[in-house]
Amino acid sequence: MRRPIRSALIRSAHPARLRAAACLAAASLLLFPCVRAQAVEPQVLEEQARRIDVIQKMAPSVVAIFAKDGNGGGSGVVVSPDGYVVTNFHVVMGQGSFLKCGLNDGKLYDSVLVGVDPTGDVAVIKLVGRSDFPAATIGDSETVRVGDGAYAVGNPFLLAADFQPTVTYGMVSGIHRYQFPSETFLEYTDCIQVDTSINPGNSGGPLFNEKAELIGINGRISVEKRGRKNVGAGYAISINQVMNFLDHLKSGRIVDHATLGAVVATNNDGTVTVTNILENSEAYRRGLQVGDELVSFAGRPIHTANEFKNVLGIYPDGWKLPLTYRRRDKEERILVRLRRLHRASELELAGLEEKKPREKPEPEKPPADPKKQHNRDGDPNPDPKKRSGGQPPQFPDEVTRLFEERDGYANFYFNRVAQDRLLEVLQGWGPYSDSKGAWQLTGQLDPRTPVQIKLGDEAIAMRIGDKTIGQPLNQDLTDLPAGSGGWLPAMHSLRQILTRQGEAFSDLYYVGSEPLDGTGPRVDVLEALRGESTCRWYFDQKSKLCVGMDYRRQEDVDECEMRFAELREFGPLRFPSVIEVRHAGQPVGAFQVDSLQVSGAPKTAAK
């Protein structure tokens, strides 16, 4: 090309260089006579500039994770300015409660383990040291299509010694991929397949689209027999799955995936039908039977059994989701609460054991000659152990105080903080803890039937119209009034949490978040256990108000669902003005509260 050669001739004064350049120019014209000097197309330069701009937007949120002994690590991505980082479970497993993480600002940050999902291969850690961490822009993995451009950014082979991430570029090769577990908990559902180079060390790192939006978490690669290296087939956990689980993971728990309680199969005619179903499952109680055809689940059409597994796998246990099925050409739509996939004991073992599961990748190893790697600070090795004089890294009190050990949790500290935050909302209802006497509520049910409720320390009772029901509290609570799922015991549980909070229950914990009633606004969930009963309180994430509760007398029975209207003042206390009561998806009635009297709390009555 003449212009570049001419420029080279002008810049070079040495005769040998002039002759070499002239020969090169002549040879170019002889060998490629059709080549003409021309400027690079503006569109090419614009595309290059756009790509560089995208990478600059992505890089600050990418995390290089190093094992405490310096002999392993992986990648992660910051998802919120307060420092929460998403990575793979297999990256943090066996690394203890604290890790060292680098960002592309060249700094090494302390971090603490928060929560883990052994089945979905996801974990959350939290960086410490600032309140304005650069967070990735969250995309929508449901909009990803085959052929879209995809950037994998991370720390392959632990090459990011200066914490500057490696970027590879390719395209989306497949969507909605399902990889079943093989003698392990690890199950990749609804994942994104890419030909973008993903290698050991990329685990837990982000997959971005062309808009620099986070669409997945890189986790698996297909490998050749000769070793673990990229062969053009990588898999990323969809970001929609991660976001469904994020609050559950931030609860500090070892979280579980879900099952419908039914087995489905693809038929020769292309339909998907139920081949087996647990009779104690909520799906069965809502009407689903063997032989019914699945039409859609959680809003997505179902054409194969794998599609159903894909959709089911991206949701935590306990969520309510819509399911549409067909029986004899008639479609039915139901809401179903999902069951947990594993027993608590086996899930805890999978989440806390130090040994790797069979399919867990080996820790990503640092370069063979780490002395040749230099970080921005001039340290010849990013190994946090070597940075601390050969001793295991020490973590300051501001980090270690963020960890509390408790059975069943990856880190109980974050659960306790969430509990306190939600209980404070209920404390805003008034000084109930100072008024522990009996309650009496009066009002109307829809709105012609008078209702009176009495809640004491030894017994509970209710009068509806001219019928009185009740029972002592030293017996198992029953379905009172009949067909409500236990409206009266549910009111007793509401009294207990307002007056005694966590002391009234054998266990109280923050679950995470879910859409209210399957399709409503996202709510935080506080769950309490007492004997065989379970209570779930719902707090709207936007308004920060408690919007209702579900009460279940025992496992595998339908709940009493209570939804609260705005609060009304009853003297110094506040209480819902209307409580909507439902059972098994059917309305029981709306209870309008006219008065509330609490012994020991003067002037609580209102009319």
Any bridge partners for residue 465, and if so which? none
Report strand pairing: 137-138 vs 213-221: parallel
Amino acid at 296: S
Asked if 550 is an active-site residue, the reply is no
Closest CA to 117 of 306, 305, 342: 342
Cβ proximity of 355 and 141 under 8 Å: no
- 225 C-beta neighbours (distance < 10 Å), count: 4
E strand spans, 328-438:
330-337, 339-340
Q: Which residues contact 517 (CB under 8 A, 6 or more apart)?
A: 320, 335, 561
Which residue is it, tokens 């066996």? 94
Residue 545 is encoded by which pair of tokens? Answer: 């108000």
Q: Give the residue from 518, 522, 572, 512 showing the smallest Cα distance to 543.
A: 522
Residue 84 CA: distances (Å) to CA of 105, 113, 124, 342:
17, 10, 7, 26
Active-site option among 97, 173, 203, 577 = 203
Spatial distance between the Cα atoms of 45 and 388, rounded to a whole number of angstroms:
45
Task: Retrieve residue 284's tokens.
Answer: 């069965």
Element (H, E) at 113: strand 108-117
User: Cα–Cα distances in Å, from 340 out to 80, 282, 398, 516?
Assistant: 28, 12, 35, 18
Q: Which structure tokens are listed for 386?
A: 């070597």
Residue that has been written with the tokens 């059709």 in this structure: 34
Using the 8-state DSSP alphabet, how is residue 227 labeled?
Answer: B
Could you please report the per-residue DSSP string of 211-222?
A: TSEEEEEEEEE-
Q: Please count the other Cβ atoms lying within 10 Å of the Cβ belonging to residue 232.
A: 14
Is 90 labeled as catalytic in the residue annotation? yes
**Residue 255 to residue 289: CA distance in whole angstroms:** 29
- State how far Cα 356 lies from the chain centre: 22
SS3 42: helix
Which candidate in 90, 257, 342, 492 is catalytic? Answer: 90
What radius of gyration do the chain's Cα atoms show? 30
Check if the beta carbon of residue 490 is closer than 8 Å to that of residue 576. no
Of the candidates 117, 121, 247, 517, the residue annotated as catalytic is 121
Residues assigned a catalytic role:
90, 121, 203
